[in-house]
């Protein structure tokens, strides 16, 4: 059996013909499996959705309780069979609830990894290697230049700057789902006990993370703080808000942005970022290669990112590989290169 008989790219996204179901479809479909809650993968309007419990809750927060006709929670490692095809969800390490989806039929297993990372993250389930015949990998940072430093070291730079400029607020641009909460947790792990202030667009998802048992310490809304409270404080906000009227309440702030794209210093300069923080929720070049080899897959499909470079790398190691050329991904999270643009899913302050 050919892998394309089990999964194939369509304008709606990856489609499984034997089961009649899509994975992370970019348009409304009858039945959908959703890997995680970022808006370029999780969209409203599907007839039925199967995803992890955390992802379903995130979708309800972002789109309302009626985001789909029906919903079913997938449990880690427990197979769900649809028309003879088995689907199993495994942690992807990207954000809370993010999953790789293993698709098995007639002895063939394809793993659709969604977005993933292997670095430790106190706010997400740890990545799990899933052996398979075909591995579908992202390539957001699929170039050798992208080798992420330790996130703890990057946060240490932030805290060093806070000590150096005790009178200046530090505005940290971080995407509201996943990145913002990870930065908060890393700051706490580094011993910072003062209140962390947040933009209103970050509040609902942050409170959700706390309700899931993730301790983030004293988190307060920036709009309710006095100027004296904000002097020398850490304030976490969506990247787009750093250029709007909301940011004008902070006199002479230190502008920071937490993203893997901060490896490209020209991008930081163009965005007026004073303190770039290279903190990524995606696998870097080395992790991509390591993961591909660890799965034992004989064939690799590469999607949304630097596809050609990773396909070439696979070829040098004797692996069959091809780019999927899927469209519609990269609208949220670190796949957004423009620092000054708010994501479509961000509510107004």
Bridge partners of 305, per DSSP, are: 139
Angle between helices 179-189 and 151-164 (to 10 degrees): 70
pLDDT at 349: 28
pLDDT at 332: 60
End-to-end Cα spacing for the chain: 52
Read off φ and ψ for residue 316, nearest 5 degrees.
-70, -15
pLDDT at 336: 40
- Sequence-separated (6 or more) residues with CB below 8 Å from residue 101: 23, 33, 35, 87, 88, 89, 90, 111, 112, 114
pLDDT at 347: 31
Pairing verdict, β 13-16 and 8-10: antiparallel
d(CA 301, CA 323): 6
pLDDT at 334: 54
Q: Evaluate whether 182 touches 260 at the Cβ level (below 8 Å).
A: no
Quick one: which H or E segment has residue 288?
A: helix 285-295
pLDDT at 340: 33
d(CA 129, CA 295): 6
d(CA 284, CA 287): 5
Length of the chain, in residues: 349
CB environment 22-45: b (16+ within 10 A), e (fewer): bbbbbeebebbbbbbbbbbbbbee
- Cβ count within 10 A of residue 101: 28
Flag residues of the chain having pLDDT under 50: 335-349
Read off φ and ψ for residue 109, nearest 5 degrees.
-120, 125
d(CA 5, CA 144): 33
- Cβ count within 10 A of residue 311: 19
Q: Which of 259, 190, 182, 171 is nearest to 216 (CA)?
A: 182
Q: Which of 305, 294, 300, 303 is nearest to 315 (CA)?
A: 300
Q: Evaluate whether 111 touches 130 at the Cβ level (below 8 Å).
A: yes
**pTM listed for this prediction:** 0.93
> Cα–Cα–Cα angle for 280, 340, 118, nearest 5°?
10
pLDDT at 348: 28
pLDDT at 341: 33
pLDDT at 243: 86
d(CA 218, CA 226): 16
d(CA 204, CA 214): 14
Report helix, strand or coil for 139.
strand
Q: Evaluate whether 242 touches 255 at the Cβ level (below 8 Å).
A: yes
């Amino acid at each position: 059996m050919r892998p394309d008989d089990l999964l194939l790219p369509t304008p709606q996204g990856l489609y499984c013909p034997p089961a009649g179901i899509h994975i992370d479809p970019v348009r409304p479909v009858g039945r959908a499996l959703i890997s995680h809650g970022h808006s370029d993968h999780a969209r409203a309007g599907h007839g039925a959705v199967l995803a992890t419990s955390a992802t379903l809750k995130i979708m309800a927060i972002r789109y309302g309780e009626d985001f789909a006709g029906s919903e079913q929670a997938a449990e880690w490692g427990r197979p769900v069979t649809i028309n003879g095809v088995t689907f199993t969800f495994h942690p992807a390490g990207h954000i809370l609830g993010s999953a790789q989806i293993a698709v098995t039929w007639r002895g063939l297993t394809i793993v659709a990894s969604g977005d993933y990372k292997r670095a430790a993250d106190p706010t997400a389930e740890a990545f799990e290697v899933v052996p398979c015949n075909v591995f579908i990998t992202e390539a957001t940072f699929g170039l050798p230049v992208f080798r992420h430093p330790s996130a703890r070291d990057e946060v240490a730079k932030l805290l060093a700057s806070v000590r150096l400029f005790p009178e200046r607020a530090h505005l940290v641009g971080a995407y509201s789902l996943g990145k913002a909460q990870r930065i908060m947790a890393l700051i706490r792990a580094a011993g910072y006990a003062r209140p962390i202030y947040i933009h209103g667009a970050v509040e609902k998802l942050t409170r959700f993370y706390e309700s899931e048992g993730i301790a983030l310490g004293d988190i307060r809304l920036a709009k309710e703080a006095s100027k004296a409270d904000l002097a020398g404080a850490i304030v976490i906000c969506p990247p787009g808000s750093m250029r709007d009227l909301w940011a004008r309440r902070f006199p002479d702030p230190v502008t920071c942005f937490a993203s893997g794209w901060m490896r490209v210093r020209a991008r930081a300069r163009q965005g007026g970022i004073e303190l770039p923080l290279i903190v990524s929720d995606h696998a870097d070049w080395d992790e991509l290669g390591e993961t591909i080899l660890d799965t034992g897959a004989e064939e690799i499909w590469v999607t949304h990112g630097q596809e050609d470079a990773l396909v070439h790398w696979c070829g040098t190691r004797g692996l069959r590989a091809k780019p999927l050329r899927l469209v519609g991904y990269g609208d949220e999270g670190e796949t957004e290169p423009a620092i000054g643009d708010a994501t479509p899913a961000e509510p107004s302050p």
